[in-house]
Amino acid sequence: MNSESSVILKIVFSVLFFPLFFQESFVYFAWAATDQFWIQSAKRVFLLLPVMAIILGCWASIACLLTVVIRQNRREFLTSLIITWWDLGKSIVMFWGGIIKFAFTFVVATLEFAKITAMALWSLVQEILFTPFRMFKSMSQNILSSPVPWLAVFMTIFWCLVEATIFTYVMTPLVLDVFSNITGEQLQLNVVRVPLFTFLFFIVLGSYAVLSNLLDSVKQKNIQSIIGIGAIEAVVLFVEVLFLYREFVDSLVPWFAQYSESFELGIFGTLAISCFVWFGIRSLTWFLFASHGTPTILHLIQGKGVVVFRQGEAPRSRLLSVAPEFVNRIKDETEWMQAKGEQVLVALMLPPLQVVAAALNFCTLLLNSNHLFELPFKSMSAVTDTKTLLGNSVKKKQSGAPVQHQPAAPVQHQPTAPVQTEQPKEYDNVQI
C-alpha cells in the first residue's frame, strides 16, 4: 500500500514539476557554450528568448491549472490559457521572421544610406564648384536692385588704384633720388613703392572728395564754403599737377621731340599740358562714375551709413546663398533617414517584444484571469506605456469579474398577518 501511494505521489510530483525534466537541457542547448562562435551566436539569437518564454509558460500553466478548482468561469479560463499558448507560438514564429525582416531592412537601409551619402558628397562638390558663379550672380542682383550705386563705388576705387599705380611707376625714380639725397643711401625699389602707392591712392581719392564737396557747395549756393573749398581745390590742383602730372608729361617729351626739330616745351607748356590732362581726366571720370561713387564712399568714411535697400523691400538674393534644390534635397534625405531609422528600430525591437509580451500574458492570466497585451503587435504604437497598461488591466478585471451569488434570507410568515404582494424593504438589496 505504501509503495502504491509513493508511486502515485511520484507521478503527481512528476506531472506538477515536469519542466524540470527538460528546462536545463533546453537552456544548455540554446546557450551553446561549447559550440563554435557562429553557431553559438545563431542559437542565442534565435532560440534563447523563445526557450525562456516556453519554460516560463510551462510553470505559469502549472500554476494556472492548480487554481482552476477555486476559480469561477473555469471553461473561459482554460480557453484563455490555450489561447495564450497559441499567442506564444505565433510570437515565436513572428520573432524568427522578424529577425530575417530586420536583417533585410538593415541591409536595404545601409545601401540607401551609402547612396544618399554619395549623392550628398557629389552635391556638396557641385555647390563648392558653382559657389563663385552663384556669388557673382547674387552680387550682381544686389548691385542692380539696390539704390546704392555700388558699380560707381567699385569703378571709383578701381580708377584710384589705376591712377595710383601709374603715378607710383612715374614717381618712383624721383622719390628715390630725393630720399637718397636726404639720407645718403640708395634705397630699394620695393621699400619705396608700397608706401608710395598707398600715399598716392589716398591723394587721388582725396582729390575726388574735394571735388564732390565743391560741387555740393555750388548746388547749395554757399559762397563761404565755395571760396574755402575752391582754395583747397586749387592747392590740390597745384600739388597733383606739379608732382604727378608734370612727371607724366615729362615722360612724353621724347615722343614729342621725335616729330619736331629743336623741340623745347618749357616749364609753362609742361604745366599747361599737365593742367589740361588733370582737368580732362577728372572731368571724364567724374561725369562717368565718380560723381555717384564718391558721395557714397564719403558717407561710409564718415559713418553716416547708406540705404542698402529701399524701405520695406527685402534683398532679392544673398551674397553667399545655397541652391534651393540642394537645401530641399538635404531636407528630403533627412526626413527619409529619420523615417528609415524608425523603421529599422521597429524591425529590431518589435519581434522580441512579441515573445516577451506572450510570456507576460501567462503571468497576468494567473493573477487576474486576463491578458495584458493584445497580440500580435502591428507597430510600436501597440506597445503602450505602463500607466495605460495598468488602466486597461483594471478595466478588464472589473468588466470580467464574475458575479457573486448570495442566498436570500427566508421570509417568516405570521398566520394572522395578511399576505404581502410587495417585497419587504430589508430584502431590496439581496442579490439573487
**pLDDT tens digits for 137-157?**
776 766 666 677 888 888 999
By percentage, how much of the chain surpasses pLDDT 70? 80
| Residue 206 vs residue 185, higher pLDDT | 206
Closest CA to 368 of 342, 396, 389, 348: 396
**251 vs 247: CA distance, rounded Å:** 6
Those residues whose C-beta lies under 8 Å from the C-beta of residue 295, and which sit 6 or more positions away, are 212
Mean pLDDT value of segment 109-119: 86
Q: What is the pLDDT of residue 60?
A: 92
- What cell was used for 13? 510530483
φ/ψ of 118, rounded to 5, equals: -65, -45
pLDDT for position 86:
93
Q: Is the pLDDT of residue 421 over 60?
A: no
pLDDT value of position 386: 59
Give the pLDDT mean for 83-99: 92
User: What distance in Å separates the CA atoms of residue 39 and residue 47, rounded to the nearest whole number?
Assistant: 11
Cβ burial, residue 317 (10 Å; 0-12/13-18/19+): middle
**Residue closest to 168 by CA, chosen among 193, 195, 190, 188:** 193
- CA dist., res. 227 & res. 225, Å (int): 5
> Rounded to 5, what percent of the chain is helix, strand, coil?
75, 0, 25
Judged against a pLDDT cut of 90, whether residue 52 lies above it is answered with yes
321-350 pLDDT tens trace: 556 676 777 777 788 888 888 888 888 888
| Ranges 169-183, 363-377, 411-425: which has the least confidence | 411-425
**pLDDT value of residue 392:** 62
Give the integer Cα–Cα distance in Å for 73 and 400: 10
pLDDT tier at 432, thresholds 50, 70, 90: very low
**Which of these ranges, 12-21, 135-144, 157-166, 283-292, has the smallest mean pLDDT?**
135-144
- Grid coordinates in use for 113? 544610406
Do 149 and 295 contact (CB within 8 A), yes or no? no
Share of the chain above pLDDT 90, in %: 17
Q: Mean pLDDT throughout 160-187?
A: 83
Residue 122 burial (CB count, 10 A): 10
Distances (CA, A) of 302 to 197, 286, 293: 23, 21, 14
The pLDDT of residue 308: 56
At residue 410, the pLDDT reads 44
Q: What integer pLDDT is reported at residue 405 of this predicted model?
A: 34
pLDDT of residue 85: 93
CA distance 53 to 358: 8
Q: CA-to-CA distance for 256 and 263, rounded, in angstroms?
A: 8
Q: Write down the pLDDT at residue 407.
A: 41
First to last CA, the chain: 48
Q: With bands split at pLDDT 50, 70 and 90, how would you rate the model's confidence at 282?
A: confident
**pLDDT of 215 higher than 80:** yes
Whether residue 303 is predicted with pLDDT greater than 90 in this model: the reply is no
What is the gyration radius of the CA atoms in the chain, in angstroms? 51
Q: Which residues contact 166 (CB under 8 A, 6 or more apart)?
A: 248
Instruction: Report pLDDT for 211.
Output: 87
